[in-house]
Amino acid sequence: MKYLITIVGPTAIGKTSLSIALAQHFKCEIISCDSRQFFKEMQIGTAVPTSEELADAKHHFIQNKSIFENYTVGDFEKEAIVKLDELFLTNDYAVLVGGSGLYVDAVLKGFDDFPEIETSVREEVKSNYEKLGLHYLQTELKKLDPNYFEVVAKENPQRMMRALEVCIGTGKPYSSFLNQKKNTRNFTPILIGLEADRKVIYDRINLRVDLMMQEGLLAEAEKIFPYKDLNALQTVGYRELFLYFEGKISLEFAIEEIKKNTRRFAKRQLTWFKRNEKTKWFDYLENRNEITNYIAKQIQNNV
């Protein structure tokens, strides 16, 4: 039996630290499942593990792509499964860690099968977005698919445009196509969630943003500012600084917006991950032995 120990939870909760501890305990490697950490041009703003952390356990899918590549969740699913098949040839365990719910689900259950959407629908949605802005996408998606609207990254126009074109093109909610296809996997997932009181999560997020600014996030964002329209850069931590570079907001306001939007993102992450009843939730300060003991019991019960 092969086991994929999966660690989920909101941003800044301590998933990286736990994943390394578990990888060392089970003598296995880590699959990173953070859709922002794939890109080598984005390091500080995506909280990529430090060189010391990367040395403590073998990681995969960290800064392995460029922002200039078109890399989808479907691409990640295929590559992650190939890598897991390879790892499971010599080890009964692997760790999957990340805060990108859609990407975690793609690995655990398979990427959902969506019908083809007519080009005219796609073009109409894009045209309306260019004319009416983000508010158009949010309003229409909330009306046509309130369930998906609750968990989607509401500042990510690409994600919302995709959902909206499926709603319009099929006449059905985008969420109705999720989790339909049951792919067989050659591993058993053991899901671990990390959580904390909301104030603790928010305080950790605010501190992390301050540290990112000290570490040089402004210079990192300025370097990729000329490519601000790329899909990979439609993300918290960069989009706000791009507005500052354009002279639309002050730097102080941009930093506060990063904190606010990251807090909102964390709330959506929890909403997404809490849907899975198989996840065992632990306080972020829980003794690591308690977590490893829980995992060991799950493995023992499966034998």
14 is in an annotated binding site: yes
What three-state secondary structure class fits 97? strand
296 is in an annotated binding site: no
CA–CA distance, 58 with 53 (Å, rounded to integer): 9
Query: DSSP alpha helices (H): ranges in the chain?
Result: 15-25, 51-56, 73-87, 101-109, 119-132, 134-144, 146-151, 157-170, 198-215, 217-224, 239-245, 251-273, 288-302
Please state, in angstroms and as integers, the Cα–Cα distance from residue 177 to each residue in 49, 76, 167, 174, following that order: 34, 19, 10, 6
Place of tokens 């630290």: 17
SS3 for 186-228 is CCEEEEEEEECCHHHHHHHHHHHHHHHHHHCHHHHHHHHHHHC
11 is in an annotated binding site: yes
CA–CA distance, 71 with 164 (Å, rounded to integer): 20
**Which residues, other chains included, contact 133 with Cβ-Cβ below 8 Å and sequence gap of 6+?**
none
CA–CA distance, 184 with 110 (Å, rounded to integer): 8
12 is in an annotated binding site: yes
170 is in an annotated binding site: no
By the 8 A CB rule, do 269 and 35 touch?
A: no
CA–CA distance, 189 with 107 (Å, rounded to integer): 10
Q: Of the candidates 173, 165, 189, 147, which has an alpha carbon nearest to the alpha carbon of residue 280?
A: 189
Q: Of the candidates 25, 23, 5, which has an alpha carbon nearest to the alpha carbon of residue 107?
A: 5
16 is in an annotated binding site: yes
Q: Of the candidates 151, 107, 89, 91, which has an alpha carbon nearest to the alpha carbon of residue 6?
A: 107
171 is in an annotated binding site: no
Please report, in range form, the residues annotated as the binding site for substrate.
11-16
Please report, in range form, the residues annotated as the binding site for ATP.
9-16
Please report, in range form, the residues annotated as the binding site.
9-16
